[in-house]
Every structure is written in C-alpha cells, then in structure tokens.
Amino acid sequence: MFSQEFYIISFESTHHAIQTEIKLKKNFSIETIPTPREISASCGLSIKFPCEKLIDILDELGKEIENVDVFKIQKKGKNKIITKL
C-alpha cells in the first residue's frame, strides 16, 4: 500500500501553469509545486491535486488538457512510482 497518492499536471510554459492555477483555484483545492525532477517539462511548475478530483479537474480543463501532461504519483517511503496518463 502506498503512503501517498496524488496527481500532478505539468506544463510547457509558466504562463500556462499560472493561468491554469487561477482557473482551478476557483473550484478546487490544489497546490502549485516545483515539477518533480523525474518528469521533464519546459516549465518548472506543476499543479498537484488529490486522486479523487481527477475527473472533475479534467472536465474543468476541457480542451486545455491537450496542452499539458498529467501524471499519477505514488509514494511509499523513499520510493516513487510515476505514471503518465
């Protein structure tokens, strides 16, 4: 069993990250974090959110989701499994 599971959205630009953060913060509890080093992205910012909000957040983003990468992060101790959706 994993001690922590969540999703992150990574972006190609800081501008896109900030615009998405503003949009999502209106309706969701999200956190802006540095992009994990295991994930390569042009932008150093990612948005972190709980697993149970995945469908709602993807629905909120609509077509904008085509311009981002979504990853599931599963942590157990120092081990981390990252799965790209």
Looking at the predicted structure, is the pLDDT value of residue 5 above 80?
yes
pLDDT tier, 1 (very low <50, low <70, confident <90, very high otherwise): low
Asked whether the predicted pLDDT for residue 28 surpasses 90, the reply is yes
**Number of domain units in the chain:** 1
| Residue span of the structural domain in which 33 resides | 4-84
Give the contacts of 5 (CB within 8 A, at least 6 positions apart). Answer: 51, 72, 73, 74, 75
Number of DSSP helices (H) and strands (E) in the chain, helices first: 2, 5
User: What's the pTM value of the predicted model, to 2 decimals?
Assistant: 0.88
**Any idea what the CATH number is for the domain that residue 78 is in?**
3.30.70
